[in-house]
Amino acid sequence: MPHALLVLALSAFAIGTTEFVIMGLLPEVAGDLGVSIPGAGWLVTGYALGVAIGAPFMALVTASWPRRAALLALMGIFIGGNLFCALAGDYQMLMLARVITALCHGAFFGIGSVVAASLVPANRRASAVALMFTGLTLANVLGVPLGTALGQYAGWRSTFWAVTLIGIVTLVGLWRVLPKAEPAGKPDLRGEIRALGSAGLWLALSSTVLFSASMFALFTYIAPLLGEVTGLSPGGITWTLLLIGLGLTLGNVLGGRLADWHLRTTLLGVFAAMALVSTLFAWTSRAPIPAELTLFLWATATFAAVPALQVNVVAFGRSAPNLVSTLNIGAFNLGNALGAWIGGLVIAEGFGLTRVPLAAAVLAVLALLATLLTFSTHNPEPALVLND
């Protein structure tokens, strides 16, 4: 694998850390800025909306740019946004800084995954994308706990200073190792917009939304479920989250290799596994060891879909890879919000925490059906998906 892939993975690690670490720092942020915990929680929502709205906008702005220049500019926005977070004097400034930081998120992952795929032979593209997204999974395994610990020890601003420093290191790395030559046939703005007329593309994006909704319907409420149903202590929940992070990392790597073998089969198999394991967790959640084993399997199965879904949308929108890859990141975040809302609705309607995994299973089945419809009615570009 080229060195550029490792730098792209480090970039994903930095972006993933700044997105998720705020969840562990909500008490410190709320106390320092004089807002409630729910008020501080809007910093998470603000970031997600910034990604969803900013992703297509930034993709269109950078559509005619060389991809190397686009990634460098987006990482510059990331550095500036985190620096703004570290210096924010009040809640409003911090919210604005979070939204600014989020603007780079979708476009960076979208363009970065296209660059990652272009660095390797066609039969290793999904593995290359998976390696880049390994940085995102490691952000959950290492970046978030370490960033939370740093913020609790030295103040929440120190975490954003640290992420800013990582961003600077990443910017230098991208400048040094990204190929300067652009691939032939770089799309123009009109070509990017024309690609949005593909019905297959929108079906592929719907699979991403439903997948992410299934994942986050369960993941959003995993801590209260483990505490109230499984009976784990706060320390036990922390270790279980680490186990989930390891499963996410393993699934990401396996998913890349499986998608290189056969994209359609991988997606259908993963969604079926998600539905099965989520249903199983509704019963195993009542005992610690079965619950943790089930969650490890769930995490492995779940993140096996990520590189496959990213390659999937490019296969259906190959004439505009930058834009469609970026839209896919926006679809992930839209599914994040949808899943969290559905899981919360299940709880609010009085069905109980143990019914949340069943809701996740239903969403996984819908993702499977959307994928079946996609491949039965449309064919992806054979030049990209050689085995389908």
Three-state helix/strand/coil letters over 124-174: HHHHHHHHHHHHHHHHHHHHHHHHHHHHHHHCHHHHHHHHHHHHHHHHHHH
Query: Which residues are within 8 A (CB) of 121 and not within 5 positions of it... i.e. 6 or more apart?
Result: none
Do the domain assignments include residue 253? Answer: yes
DSSP letter (8 states) at residue 182 = P
| 382 CB-contact burial (10 Å; exposed 0-12 / middle 13-18 / buried 19+) | exposed
pLDDT of amino acid 1: 58
Nearest Cα residue to 329 out of 315, 302, 309: 309
Nearest Cα residue to 136 out of 259, 256, 29: 256
Q: 121-156 burial string, b = 16+ CB within 10 Å, else e?
A: eeebbbbbbbbbbbbbbbbbbebbbbbbebbeeeeb
Do the domain assignments include residue 383? Answer: no
Range of the domain at 34: 3-186
pLDDT of amino acid 188: 56
Q: How far apart are the first and last CA of the chain?
A: 24
Mean pLDDT by 10 residues, the chain (388 residues): 86 91 79 81 79 82 85 95 95 94 88 85 78 83 82 91 96 90 55 68 90 87 84 81 85 84 89 96 94 94 87 75 77 82 84 91 96 79 41
Q: CA 143, CA 381: separation in Å to the nearest integer?
A: 37
Number of domains in the chain: 2
Residues 239, 353: one domain? yes
Residues 25, 141: one domain? yes
Residues 196, 331: one domain? yes
Residues 143, 244: one domain? no
Residues 121, 200: one domain? no
Are the C-beta atoms of residues 317 and 113 closer than 8 Å to each other? Answer: no
DSSP letter (8 states) at residue 388 = -
CATH at 19 = 1.20.1250.20
Q: CA 337, CA 376: separation in Å to the nearest integer?
A: 29
pLDDT of amino acid 387: 38
pTM of the model: 0.74
Task: Give the residue from 186, 214, 241 where a domain finishes.
Answer: 186
Q: CA 46, CA 54: separation in Å to the nearest integer?
A: 11
Q: CA 309, CA 306: separation in Å to the nearest integer?
A: 5
DSSP 284-333: HTTSHHHHHHHHHHHHHHHHTHHHHHHHHHHHHSTTSHHHHHHHHHHHHH
DSSP 238-269: HHHHHHHHHHHHHHHHHHHHHHHH-HHHHHHH
Task: Give the residue from 153, 168, 186 where a domain finishes.
Answer: 186
Residues 265, 357: one domain? yes
Residues 229, 315: one domain? yes
